[in-house]
Chains A and B, each alone.
Chain A
Amino acid sequence: MSEHTRPDSAGPAPSAPAKAVRLEATGHDGSFLGKTVTPAKFASGRESGFAFADILFAIDLGDEFVFGDAFPDWRGNLYDISMIPDMDTLVRWKPGLDAVIGDYWLRDGRPVPICPRNMVRRLAEHLRELGYSATVAVEIETTLFEESVQQARARGYRDLTPLGGATGATYHLARSKDWVDYLEAVTDRLDELGIAWEAWTDEAAAGQTELNLAPADPVSLSDSWARTKQVMREVAFEQDHTVTFMAKPTSGFGQGAHINLSLHRDGANQFYAPDGPSEVMLQAVGGLMATMAGNTLLALPQITSYRRLVDLSGPPTTISWGVNNKTAAVRAIAGHPKYSRLEYRLPGSDVNPYYALAGVLAGVVAGIERRMQAPPQVDDMAWCLPDDSGIERIPDSITKAIAALDGDAVLREYLGDEFVDFWVASRRWEWMEFHTKGGDPYAELSAWESRRYFEFP
Chain B
Amino acid sequence: MTEAPTITPGMDARRAPARIEIDEDATPVVRLLGRTLRDAIRIGHAPEVLDHGGGTVAVRSHNTPQAATVTLHGGAVTVSGGLFAPADATLVVDLEARFSLAQDPDGDAELARGLHRALRPPLPAWHEAAESFWKATRGIRGIPDVLVVVAHGPDGPQEARFGAGPVAYRMAGTPDALAGVFTGADYLLTSLDSGLRVQGTLSQVSVMTAASWKVRFDV
By a beta-carbon cutoff of 8 Å, the part of chain A in contact with chain B is: 65, 67-71, 75-78, 397, 399-400, 421, 425, 428, 431-432, 435-443, 446
Question: Number of residue pairs across A and B with beta carbons under 8 Å?
Answer: 72
Q: How far is the CB of B10 from chain A (nearest CB, A)?
A: 33
For residue B65, give the distance in angstroms from its CB to the closest CB of chain A: 4
- Is B118 positioned at the interface, with any CB of A under 8 Å from its CB? no
What's the least CB distance linking B198 to chain A, in Å? 12
Q: Could you tell me the distance between the alpha carbons of A437 and B201 in the complex, rounded to whole angstroms?
A: 26
Known: A397-B25, A441-B27, A443-B65. A76 touches B213 (CB 8 A): no
Please determine whether A71 and B141 come into contact, CB atoms closer than 8 angstroms: no
Q: Is the CB of B81 within 8 A of A421?
A: no
B63 to chain A: closest residue by CB: A438
Task: Indicate the member of B142, B202, B210 with the most A CB atoms within 10 Å.
Answer: B202
* Shortest Cβ gap from A426 to chain B (Å): 10
- Known contacts A69-B206, A70-B206: does B25 contact A400 (CB below 8 Å)? yes
Does A70 lie within 8 Å of B142, measured CB to CB? yes
Complex Cα spacing A441 to B217, Å:
17
Docked CA distance A28–B52 (Å):
50
B33 to chain A, nearest CB (A): 13
Q: Which residue of B lies closest to A442 (CB)?
A: B82
The answer to whether B205 and A67 have CB atoms under 8 Å apart is: yes
Shortest CB–CB separation between residue B87 and chain A, in angstroms?
Answer: 15
A384 CA / B142 CA spacing, docked (Å): 42
Assess the B64–A68 pair: CB atoms within 8 A.
no
| A428 / chain B contacts, CB cutoff of 8 Å | 213, 219
B122 at the interface (CB under 8 A from A): no
Contact A437 B82 (CB under 8 A): no
For A71, give its contact among B29, B65, B206, B219 (CB under 8 Å): B206
Contact residues of B with A, CB < 8 Å? 25, 27-29, 64-66, 81-82, 95, 140-143, 189, 201-203, 205-207, 209-210, 213, 217, 219
Supposing A67-B206, A70-B142, A428-B213 touch, asked if A439 and B65 sit within 8 A by C-beta, the answer is: yes
Shortest B123–chain A CB gap in Å is 21
Instruction: Please tell me if the beta carbons of A67 and B65 are within 8 angstroms of each other in the complex.
Output: no
- Contact between A435 and B66, CB atoms less than 8 A apart: yes
- Bound Cα distance A111, B139 (Å): 29
Q: With contacts A437-B64, A443-B65 known, is A69 near B28, CB below 8 A? A: no
The contact sample of 24 A-B pairs, CB cut-off 8 A, is A67-B206, A68-B206, A68-B207, A68-B209, A68-B210, A68-B213, A69-B141, A69-B206, A70-B140, A70-B143, A70-B206, A70-B210, A71-B206, A71-B207, A77-B201, A397-B25, A400-B25, A421-B141, A432-B217, A435-B29, A435-B64, A437-B64, A438-B65, A441-B81
Chain B neighbourhood of A446, CB < 8 A = 65
- Taking a contact as CB atoms closer than 8 A, the residue among B27, B201, B209, B219 that contacts A76 in the complex is B201
How would you classify the secondary structure of chain A's contact residues: helix, strand, loop or mixed?
A: loop
In the complex, the chain A residue whose C-beta lies closest to that of B26 is A399
Q: Are B64 and A432 in contact (CB under 8 A)?
A: no
A-side contacts of B65, CB under 8 Å? 438-443, 446
Q: Are A77 and B202 in contact (CB under 8 A)?
A: yes
CB-CB under 8 A from A77, the residues of chain B are 201-203
Set of chain A residues within 8 Å of B28, measured between Cβ atoms: 431-432, 435-436
Tell me the complex Cα distance, A428–B210, Å.
9
A69-B210, A70-B207, A443-B65 are known contacts. Are A76 and B202 too (CB-CB below 8 A)?
A: yes
Contact residues in A for B82 (Cβ distance below 8 Å)? 441-442
- Per the bound structure, the CA–CA distance linking A76 and B204 in Å amounts to 9
Q: Is A69's CB under 8 angstroms from B201's CB? A: no
| Additional A-B contacts beyond A397-B25, A421-B141, A438-B64 (13; CB < 8 A) | A67-B209, A67-B210, A68-B207, A70-B140, A70-B207, A71-B207, A76-B201, A76-B203, A77-B201, A77-B203, A435-B64, A437-B64, A442-B65
A441: chain B residues within 8 A (beta carbon):
27, 65, 81-82
Establish whether residues B205 and A435, one from each chain, have CB atoms under 8 Å apart when the complex forms: no
B213, A432: Cβ atoms under 8 Å? yes
A320 to B: closest C-beta gap in Å: 22
Residues of A within 8 A of B27 (CB): 435, 441
- Which B residues are CB-close (under 8 A) to A397? 25
Q: Known contacts being A425-B210, A428-B219, A442-B82, is A67 close to B64, with CB within 8 Å?
A: no
- Kindly state the separation between the CA atoms of A400 and B23 in the bound complex, as whole angstroms: 13
Contact check, A70 vs B64: say whether CB atoms are below 8 A apart. no
